[in-house]
Structure 1
Amino acid sequence: MARRKAAISTKVLNTLVPKKEEKSKDFQTVSKEFLRHCTIKGLSPDTVKFYDKELKGLFRAFHELEVSLADVNAMQTEDVENWIKYMLKNNRAVSSINARMRAGRTFFNFCLKKEYVEKNPFEGVHQLKKRHTIGATFTKKQLERLLSAPDITQFVGLRDFAIMLTFAHVGLRLKELCSLKVQDVIFNGNGEVNIQQAKNRYARRIPMTKRLKTVLKAYCEERGILENDALFVSVEDDPISPRTVQERLKHYGHTSNVEKEVAVSPHAFRRTFCRLKVEAGVNLFVLQRLTGHSDLEMLQRYVQIYGKDLEQAIEKGFE
């Protein structure tokens, strides 16, 4: 009688209950489903574009390595490891490989949740170690040479001067600058710039320096009232594009000869902003709020390189 009360074993049940026929899911089909999921989830267009680009890169590489992509469940960790070796052999940058690995791992986590795969093939595969460096920054003299290059008697020159000074005194990213609206600049009191389209989706408020307030007020008066509300506009009164900003910075890098010493770019201004703040002893958490960095890792590198505590500590003990 005891046997009759015992539960029937799983092995016996599996022979009695027919298994559901599992359909394989190919890489490209699931990629489209994943990107649609990211969009519905509310990820930024740039993030969705990142996943799209990196997954296409993965697809091409696996195809060249003759890895079957007809079924995502067939992907093995060994395939991922062979892909990394292939990328390194082709002299791909470590940062590029790591970015593609992050995208691949996130994609296969999605596959795991949807039960398209039994295991994430990227599980246990670690990011490659890379040398932590900080790109070149401008000296104060180089910065002033750049700021002195535009002809501020012309609209384009005044606009470009305002753009470079905003980069230098606010430390914002290229996309953040191009997305600024007229209403994001407040001149009341000491003045402030509100960054609404931040990379980490957290808007932030940056107080204006006296010099920036004066320059932006002069620029806004010259800009006038237009049909669009973009802060920085072209001579045709259209919102200025990121490419145009990059080209204008390179132009002034060339005319000022700073380009011969340091590559002139929006991020060089941002790095310079961070360096000058660290050298001035600005609190790391305050700097994080100013720059909108999601974590302190990068800012800690600035402190390690440019912090004045080393100079102050080196003589101690020898007095």
Structure 2
Amino acid sequence: MNQNVNVSLKLFIEYLQIEKNYSQYTLEHYQHDIKEFLMFMSEQAIPDLKTVEYPDVRVFLTMLFEKKLARKSVARKISSLRSFFRFLLREEFVAENPFALVSIPKAEKKLPEFFYEEELQQLFEACDESTPLGQRNKALLELLYATGMRVSECSQIRIKDLDMYLSTVLVHGKGSKERYIPFGSFAQDALETYITNGRKELLSKGSSTENLFLNARGGPLTARGIREILNKLIEKSTLTGKIHPHMMRHTFATHLMANGADMRTVQELLGHAFLSSTQVYTHVTNEYLKKTYMAHHPRA
């Protein structure tokens, strides 16, 4: 990459970070997508961002589809690059946005994956509560299921965000939005055991931190670390496959709605800006109820 391209990318990432307040996870995706396009420019001998034209974009998209990427991945890349060139146009680094006319492919309609109650029980049983890490894993699993918070939100929870008397946690969501979520007695018991015992032992291995969940070295547990823990718990249980980052969140919402919670309440708890984002769980709940009926009705 030449110096001008480096500067443009740096300014764009700073814009997303400061003005848009995007998470580090989202910023990494933007950088990855843009750098992939810059590599394509180099291979195609396109000298500068100013010289990128619509036909070049079509060639890039053809290359993506030849890689047999999922529609969702292609849509994300188009969105990232469209935003990047929109920023460059605003800053007058380019004269036009070659991605402006590109249509984003429709994502496949796929219902969120979730755990049935008996599957979830196997995950809880995979936690060895005799060890500090096992206590942490149990508390982590219970809190994710009790609150439906995102993995990225869970990694940011601090000790002071917990109110053990009211059984609530303050969650710092997307776009600096905060919400309080209640949790039940199972999560409370697991958290108290972890904070009183396991966390203290883990903290002794590292430096002082306010983060609730710690890694094996006593430092703050990252979102990536949480995903790895969940996958290891899957491996320890009798379940197969890998856990999706949002699977506990989907399970939380599905179980709530299957047991009669109204959609507005679930929307608030999940921190969804739009009710349409929550409506997908009505379809999931129908599948959940159908499977439960078929499994338990004497004449199913």
TM normalised by structure 1 equals 0.79
Highest RCO, 1 vs 2 (Cα 8 Å, sep ≥ 6) = 2
Q: Does 1:270 align with 2:246?
A: no
Matched with 1:16 is none
Q: Does 1:35 align with 2:13?
A: yes
Matched with 1:218 is 193
CA offsets, 1:33-81, max 9 Å, x none? 32344344363352433322221011112333x15232x3322222222
Q: Distance in 1 between matches of 2:132 and 2:219?
A: 14
Matched with 1:315 is none
Matched with 2:81 is 104
Matched with 2:37 is 58
Matched with 2:237 is 256
Q: Distance in 1 between matches of 2:53 and 2:33?
A: 19
Q: Does 1:304 align with 2:280?
A: no
RMSD, aligned CA: 2.6
Matched with 1:127 is 104
- Range with bigger deviation, 110-119 or 52-61: 110-119
Matched with 1:174 is 151
Of 151, 156, 170, which residue of structure 2 is paired with 1:194? Answer: 170
Q: Does 1:162 align with 2:139?
A: yes
Name the SS of the counterpart of 2:170 in structure 1: strand
What code does the residue aligned with 2:285 have? Y
Q: What stretches of structure 2 of length at least 5 have no aligned partner?
A: 291-300
- Range with bigger deviation, 30-39 or 102-111: 30-39
CA offsets, 1:192-236, max 9 Å, x none? 01112x233211110111221222122222134953222122354
Q: 1:92 to 1:67 in 2, by over 3 A?
A: farther
Matched with 1:8 is none
Name the SS of the counterpart of 1:193 in structure 2: strand
CA offsets, 1:16-40, max 9 Å, x none? xxxxxxxxx9544432332344344
Q: 1:301 to 1:62 in 2, by over 3 A?
A: farther
- Range with bigger deviation, 55-64 or 246-255: 246-255
What code does the residue aligned with 2:212 have? L
Sequence identity, in percent?
23
Once the two structures are superposed, the pairs formed by residues 279-318 of structure 1 within 5 Å of their partners are 279-307=258-286
Name the SS of the counterpart of 1:194 in structure 2: strand
Q: Distance in 2 between matches of 1:172 and 1:58?
A: 33
TM normalised by structure 2 equals 0.83
Q: Distance in 2 between matches of 1:231 and 1:108?
A: 39
Q: Does 1:80 align with 2:80?
A: no
TM-aligned CA deviation for residue 246 of structure 1: 2.8
Larger Cα Rg: Structure 1 or Structure 2? 1
Q: Does 1:136 align with 2:117?
A: no
Name the SS of the counterpart of 1:221 in structure 2: helix
Matched with 2:27 is 48
Q: Distance in 2 between matches of 1:81 and 1:148?
A: 51
Q: Distance in 1 between matches of 2:214 and 2:108?
A: 39
What code does the residue aligned with 1:85 have? T
Q: Distance in 1 between matches of 2:5 and 2:47?
A: 5
Contact 1:67-1:79 within 8 A present in 2 as well: no
Q: 1:248 to 1:39 in 2, by over 3 A?
A: closer
Matched with 1:240 is 221
Matched with 2:212 is 231
Q: What stretches of structure 1 of length at least 5 have no aligned partner?
A: 1-24, 312-319
Q: Distance in 2 between matches of 1:33 and 1:187?
A: 43
CA offsets, 1:256-292, max 9 Å, x none? 211x2x5234422111112112212322222122112
Q: 1:33 to 1:181 in 2, by over 3 A?
A: closer
Aligned residues: 281
Q: 1:143 to 1:125 in 2, by over 3 A?
A: same
Q: Distance in 2 between matches of 1:107 and 1:247?
A: 31
Q: Distance in 2 between matches of 1:244 and 1:35?
A: 24
Q: Distance in 2 between matches of 1:307 and 1:97?
A: 30
Name the SS of the counterpart of 1:132 in structure 2: coil
